[in-house]
Chain A
Amino acid sequence: MEGEAMRRGRLVTRLGLALSLLVALVVAAGCGGDDDDGDSGDTTAAAEEGPITIGAAVDQTDLMQFFDGPALAAAQIEAEQINAEGGVDGRDIEFEVEDTRLEPARTKSVAEDMIAGGADVLWVTCDVDWATPSIQEGINAGVLTVAPCIGTDQMGPKRFGDAGQLAYSFGNVAQDEGAALAELASDKGWKSANVVTDESIAYTQNACQAFKLRFEELGGEIASDETFTEGDGTINSVVNRVNGSDADMIAICATTQEDLPAFVSGVRGGGNETPIAGPWSIDGAFWLPKDPQVSNNIYVITYASIYGDDPNPDVRKLIAEMKKQGAEPATGGFVTGAAALQGIVEAIEENGGSTDGEALASTVEGFDGLDTISGSVSFSPDFHTAFGREYRVIEIKNGEPRFTGLIKAGEPVSFD
């Protein structure tokens, strides 16, 4: 009997250790990234006849479809419009789309096949970790590699070394977005802030870090600085701490997963009516708690207003077209797809129709206030992810989001 108990004990120990290891691996996989630097590859010869092919290796199945899908839909509508107007120097734009399913091996092979098939530009998923296998294929093949809405400074040489010269994102770099959020807070007259950061992704960390730096530069005071990691079960502790700290505002950099509505519900449930403000990552009405008293006094800065009141008629027209196609956007991030295509087209035109990767990359890096449907965007050797946009300020009042104005960062924050 004792032997049986010991055997069972060992079995239970092994099972427990295996479970712990499994969970640790899952955590590591979620947090980890691919640090491989891409080597600079050969430059492909420009194919200057026939259509311009953009190979889109995007997620159409898993969690990133929420971001990739609307951006791609917007880009395809923009492409149809450009083609209808005669194309780019007479050449049509064609998207070749493949589903990566967020599987790293498939992400790599899809990109590889697209490049082998003659893609002129590679279009990748909106998260640099998930997109890395395809980005490396693109930049190593000397192809301009563009993400519509990656929001960190990792899309470029900082992560991919010299070959990263060919990698760009038309999303907002978090250093710019966090700075704009601080400018908004300052404009509102808020002098102190409780800051809450979701540490699970670099974008939210960087956005709140930028917020804090710019907010303090503008004379603001950080009353408390709380962190959590999405799903770690500590959000209620964060709520208690924030509710126990007086400040003029709460800045939260989180994603629209389960902890964000939990935080808002907890804060408002505690009778705390302090304004809550956050970057694009909290855009959208789908996550808002349904109680209008809870979803109140919340501010979001984003690319575009999806609530029918965006100040740009082209944006409203694009949303209407997307609705017609059954692809109604859930956040303002969709517009980055159209903006990215406009940027690619501008670069090709500036290079006389050439799709040579290095030439296009050099042109994109030099964009300074390029006018796009999402406003003017700039790039620099430091930031291959866009900055300089005028952000839409969305206020959520009694559960109803509405556009209330524009805000610009001036210049992005530097972490150096």
Chain B
Amino acid sequence: MNVLQTLIDGVALGAVYALVAVGLALIFGVMRLINFAHGELITAGGYTLALASAWPKAAAIALTVVVCVVLAWAMERIAFRRLRNVAPATTLVATFAVAFTLQAVWLIAFGPQGESADVLSGLNQTAVSGELSIRWITIVMLITGGLLLAGTILLLNRTTIGLQMRAAATDFRAARLLGVRADTVISVAFVIAGVMAAAVAVLLTVQRPLVTPTFGLQVTILALVGVVVGGMDRLWTATLGGFAIGFATSVLGEALPSDQRVFLPSAVFLLVIVVLLLRPGGLFAPRGAGGVERV
């Protein structure tokens, strides 16, 4: 298999995982909350696309964004806001509870067999053929990932709300004393996470058009591992970690012989353990870094 092909596929998959990582890291940054329910936002987006398959594509995608954003906002407003001042373990359990509750809702509402989505399926067609075989969806993944990540960076660095988010992430109490409105900052973080989840849902349903109750779960677990590996105290290290886990999965999957591919998860997590043992602060965290940016 062509090395360039492997790298391109790896970068594209890494871009999707990076988008998931941004959603996770933003919430962790401002709330110190590891949101295991983030995957359910992606699943909600997937089901929305499945149900709106007959709609005009732009309308289906817009509805998906709305659903993911509203659900993200509702999660924070209903489940997490009142737990803001309790022990981290409690909020962690709350995210599990939200995730399992929503999975049960998907199972009851849509059944275990899944719903087929058909939005932008033409993107599966080959854009470049020959020595390299690149599908349009690969290109769209790269562009979407790049644009959304750039947009997030601009938002954080060039806007007032971005500045407030960064301040809140560095020292939430001090930021509040300086006039930063905690509710607004946290709500915006969840809204951005919702947008990221919607984008991931659209990209994934093009490649994997069957949406099941666990549609967003696996990508979220892997991205979360990536966030920890990259360094969850900073948005950019967490994002790079998410990218790295997606890239490594793709490249290792390509490198392993077909009859050895069943060992892929073992290989990836062995790598994770080695990285954590060697760089406990995160693979991309600056050596000896004392201060914490978080977003």
A residues near B (Cβ < 8 Å) are 1-2, 4-5, 8-10, 12-13, 15-17, 19-20, 23-24, 27, 62-63, 65-66, 199, 225-229, 231-237, 240-241, 243-244, 256-262, 265-266, 268-271, 284, 286-291, 294, 330
Contacts and interface: CB of A to CB of B under 8 A. Distances in A.
Interface stretch (B159-167, B171-179, B188-196, B276-284): B276-284
Interface in B102-119: 107, 111-118
Interface stretch (B69-77, B147-155, B224-232): B224-232
29 contacts: A1-B290, A1-B291, A5-B281, A5-B289, A8-B233, A8-B281, A16-B228, A24-B266, A62-B107, A62-B112, A229-B262, A233-B222, A233-B246, A234-B253, A234-B254, A234-B264, A237-B9, A256-B114, A261-B116, A265-B209, A266-B207, A269-B126, A270-B125, A270-B133, A287-B114, A287-B210, A289-B118, A291-B122, A294-B121
A209 to B, nearest CB: 12
Contacts of B231: 12
Given A232-B261, A233-B249, A290 B118 contact: yes
Interface residues of B, number: 65
A301 to B, nearest CB: 20
A233 B9 contact: no
Given A5-B290, A240-B9, A286-B116, A12 B209 contact: no
B116 A227 contact: no
B8 to A, nearest CB: 11
Given A2-B290, A16-B228, A287 B113 contact: yes
Contact of A12 (B1, B122, B228): B228
A258 B208 contact: yes
Contacts of B273: 16-17, 20
Given A241-B1, A258-B114, A15 B133 contact: no
Contacts, number: 183
Contacts of B264: 229, 232-234
Interface of B: 1, 5, 9, 13, 53, 107, 111-118, 121-126, 129, 133, 135, 207-212, 215, 218, 221-222, 224-225, 228-229, 231-233, 246, 249-250, 253-254, 258-259, 261-262, 264-266, 269, 272-273, 276-277, 280-282, 288-292
A23 B280 contact: no
Given A8-B292, A271-B125, 11 more contacts: A12-B231, A12-B280, A12-B281, A13-B280, A16-B229, A19-B221, A23-B221, A232-B249, A235-B208, A237-B254, A269-B126
A276 B63 CA distance: 34
A120 to B, nearest CB: 30
Contact of B125 (A8, A269, A286): A269
A233 B221 CA distance: 13
Given A8-B233, A262-B207, A266-B124, A227 B228 contact: no
B124 A268 contact: yes
A414 B92 CA distance: 51
A233 B113 contact: no
B258 A225 contact: yes
A287 B133 contact: no
A395 B34 CA distance: 47
B114 A257 contact: yes
A255 to B, nearest CB: 10
A378 B207 CA distance: 41
Contacts of B122: 291
B269 A24 contact: yes
Contact of B290 (A4, A23, A243): A4
A232 B9 CA distance: 15
Contact of B262 (A2, A199, A226, A236): A199
A289 B212 contact: no
Contacts of B253: 232-234, 237
A19 B114 CA distance: 27
B269 A16 contact: no
A290 B224 contact: no
Contacts of B123: 269
The 8 closest A-B pairs by CB, nearest first: A269-B124, A234-B253, A290-B118, A13-B280, A1-B290, A9-B281, A9-B280, A16-B228
Contacts of B116: 261, 286-290
Nearest to A4: B290
Contact of A27 (B209, B246, B265, B272): B265
B126 to A, nearest CB: 5
A240 B121 contact: no
Contact of B218 (A66, A231, A271): A231
Contacts of B221: 19, 23
